[in-house]
Amino acid sequence: MSAKLDGVSIVGLGVALPPRVRDNSFWAGVIGPRDEAQRRGDVLAVERNAKGDQTAMPREIADAIAATGDDLFRGARERRVIDDETLVSDLEVEAAREAMKDAGVGPDDIDLVLVHSLIPDVLIPSNAPAVQDKLGLTRAAAWSLDVGCASTQAHLVTASALVRSGAFHKVLVVQSHAGTRSVDPKTVTSTNFGDAAAAAVVGRVPEGYGILGQWQRTDGSLRDGIVLAPVVEGRAERNWWKTPVVPELTSFDRDVGKTAGLRAGEFCREASLGALTAAGLGLEDVDLYVGNQSLGWFVDACRRALGLPIEKTFHTFGDVANIGDAAILFNLHAARASGRVHHDDTLLLYSPSAGFTRSAVVLRWYAPPAEVGA
């Protein structure tokens, strides 16, 4: 039996977006719809394998792709782009400040910071010490916890366990995605990427709220499918330290990545049902599904695989595109602001990540009495 994690939950949320907007007109006259060679070479395009053969897509993915109605942008209208001179840690700090304000806490209240950055300011150290210093969190330890696009769930589970144990009292969790720095802006793949940061403060709430169930699994045999590595003469370089070429999103084995993509619905259902079972709940108990939005069709494919009605899902892909690990908290922030998240709601949070980890958390939302009565 898994340890109890309830009684601890998100008590504040914050987000930050770079000011520069890149809409679809940026690519006008530069690129056109994906041709067959691009579908074959793009690890994110599951319609064809690396040899060019058309794949047999699961029904939920085929229907979700068809529903986007736009082969080039797949539903994305805008995305935010971080400037070359901007430090990612500054964007993270902006989101963290908003989360702390929302939680009504000051620098002395935070005793642990968990950070995941894609891409960080420097390779070593992680952005965690920079966030701690810039926020003046002199009483806090600062750790990097990296599970790729599933880092939010890992941060929430870790923070909840540490607070419940009494080791820490209030934990600031921060995720950022500077994905536009990992792709050539003149390629079709780049239309999918945006930049953002999101943060949450995790602290004590009444028993019965917070994480009710969670499910985590990693299949390291799929780790070569999606990687960040230098590309030299068209090939991904494993020995990244031997070349000055800037790393980019690529693959050591495109078919591994495409195969994982084709199993998107299967993975989502497995993890989501696992977390719901751990919580003693079923799909009928879910009030809102919030998930990774790595592709324009991804949330809808997961929804179809789970059999959830469209009104029980929420995403912002059209407004910000793929914002990686920041998507869960970013979308929770947006959903709450638009009246889609209420006190006592049961939320299902799911993400896969490169590596390859599938992670689902079932969270019962707590809103303080003053907020409920507002």
Q: For position 244, what pLDDT does the model report?
A: 87
Mean pLDDT score of the chain: 94
Contacts of 352 (CB under 8 A, 6+ apart): 149, 150, 260, 264, 267, 268, 292, 294, 358, 359
Contacts of 32 (CB under 8 A, 6+ apart): 72
Check whether 35 has a pLDDT greater than 90: no
Q: For position 1, what pLDDT does the model report?
A: 42
Residue-wise pLDDT tens digits, 105-148: 999 999 999 999 999 999 999 999 999 999 999 999 999 999 99
Considering only residues 47 and 174, tell me which one the structure prediction assigns the higher pLDDT.
174
Q: Which residue has the tokens 């390629």?
A: 187
Q: Which CATH number fits domain 58-76+211-372: 3.40.47.10, 3.30.70.360, 3.40.470.10, 3.40.50.300?
A: 3.40.47.10
Q: Do domains 5-20+80-208 and 58-76+211-372 have the same CATH topology?
A: yes
Residue-wise pLDDT tens digits, 219-257: 999 999 999 999 998 899 999 888 888 888 889 999 999
Region 262-280: mean pLDDT is 97
Region 339-361: mean pLDDT is 97
Q: For position 153, what pLDDT does the model report?
A: 98
Number of H helices and number of E strands within the chain? 11, 17
Cα 62 from Cα 304, distance rounded (Å): 11
pLDDT bracket for residue 38 (50, 70, 90): confident
Residue spans of the domains in the chain: they are 5-20+80-208, 58-76+211-372
Q: Which CATH number fits domain 5-20+80-208: 1.20.1740.10, 3.40.50.800, 3.40.47.10, 3.30.470.10?
A: 3.40.47.10
Q: H-helix or E-strand containing 163? A: helix 151-165
Region 290-315: mean pLDDT is 97
